[in-house]
Structures are given as structure tokens and as C-alpha cells.
Amino acid sequence: MQCDRAMKTSPLLRKLIRACVDDERTLRHESQFVDASIAVALRRLAREREHFVADLERVGECQVPGDGSWGELSREAARALWVAAAGPNKGDALATCRHSRARTEALYDKALQASWPDGIRFVLASQQRCLHDEAADLYQLQF
């Protein structure tokens, strides 16, 4: 089902879904530039974002195309060029993932300030807690 009534009344939910799609793409993209054990962790987080998107689409009763925003596509292209020029670097890859997670969490913070039905608020709050907990995990992967 395409976004209709629910998404017309909730552009913030649509932005949140898009941010999760972008974060999932970032995690998958950056997993190419790290060692195998870190790549496994980044792909696990990417799968978690896919679940976030599915849950948000379910409670929002809509679907958002999952191909990523133009901003994310341009960030991926820039990172690919940088890696081609300078070589892969675990620190840069993890910093990119941390920035993406922070952008996504900021949208969750904004979304939770809005008025939502209880079911949507519960999903948003639990996903925000997961994102918050991941900040330390991403930092630890660097060391």
C-alpha cells in the first residue's frame, strides 16, 4: 500500500523512515571498508534498520520507497571517491556510521516531541533507545 492519508498527515514519519533507509544504506556501504568482524557488526545494524523501517511502515500504514535519499547517494559517492583515492580506513568508515546514526537519532528526538497515537509512540521510543545504545557500540568498534 502506498502512503496515503497517514503520510499526508505525517511528513515527519516519512522523514524518519527515509532516515532509517539512509542509515541502513550507510551501514552497508561502510561495511565494505572495514575488516570482517566489524563488517559483520555493521551489517547486523543495517538489518536492524530494515526492521525499523518495516515497523514504522506498519504502524504508519504506508510504504516509502527504499532506495535512499539523494543526500545519502551523494554521501556514498563521495565516500567511494575518498576510499579510491586514500584507501579504506576503519576510522573513517566508523565515523561515517556514527554521523549517520546521530542524524537518525536527532530525527527520532524531534519525532518524539510530536503528538502520536500510543502504538506509534511506543515504536518510536523503543527504536530511539536502540539507536542511543548503539552510539557506544559504534565507538567501541574503532578500538
pTM of the model: 0.86
The number of residues making up the chain comes to 143
Domain count, the chain: 1
pLDDT at 5: 40
Q: Which amino acid is at 125?
A: A
pLDDT in tens, 78-113: 788 887 888 888 999 999 999 999 999 999 999 999
- Structural domain containing residue 93: 5-141
* Mean pLDDT of the chain, nearest integer: 88
Alpha-carbon distances, residue 87 vs 38, 91, 94 (angstroms): 17, 12, 14
**Domain harbouring 83, CATH code:** 1.20.1260.10
